[in-house]
Amino acid sequence: MQTGRPKKTADKRTKKVDARFTEDEFKLVIELEKTLGVRRTDLVRNRLLQDASLTIVNAKELIGLLDGIGSEMGRCGNNINQLARYANILNKNGRLSPVVMERFNLLFDIYIQNQKALEIALRKIIRLLGR
C-alpha cells in the first residue's frame, strides 16, 4: 500500500535554471512572493514563461534598423518635395502633363499609406518593448 501523493510521471520538472540577483532585486522577489502568495520558483517560472512566444529584441540592432528606416523616409520626403517643386515650375510654364500629375498623386498616396503602416508598426514595437 502506497502512502502520500502518487508519483508524477508526465511533465515532471527535472531541469533547473540558476539565477543570481542583487540584494535589491532579491528583496523585490521576496516582496512579490509574499504579496502574491506564490512560491519563488512558481513566480520566476510564470514570469519568465508567460510571454515565452515573444522574441527577445536586440535593442542595438533594432535601433540601427529604425534609424535606417527614418533616414530612408527622410530621403523619400525630400524626393517628393523636389518633384512637387518641379511640377509647380512646369505648371506655371503651362507644360505640366496631366499624366505626370496623376502619376505623382498615385505615388504620393502610396507614400502616405506606407508612412501610416510604418507608424502603426512602430507603435506595436514600442508597446511590446514596454512590457
**Does 81 score more than 60 pLDDT?**
yes
Cα(56)–Cα(59) distance, integer angstroms: 9
Cα(85)–Cα(97) distance, integer angstroms: 15
**Nearest Cα residue to 66 out of 131, 2, 129, 3:** 129
Residue 63: other Cβ atoms inside 10 A = 11
Mean pLDDT of the chain: 84
**Does 80 score more than 60 pLDDT?**
yes
| pLDDT band of 100, cuts 50, 70, 90 | confident
Domains of the chain, residue spans: 20-53, 59-129
What is the tens place of the pLDDT at every residue in 17-69? 888 999 999 999 898 888 888 888 888 888 788 766 565 667 778 888 888 88
If you search the block for the grid coordinates 504579496, which residue do you land on? 35
Q: Are 49 and 41 in contact (CB under 8 A)?
A: no
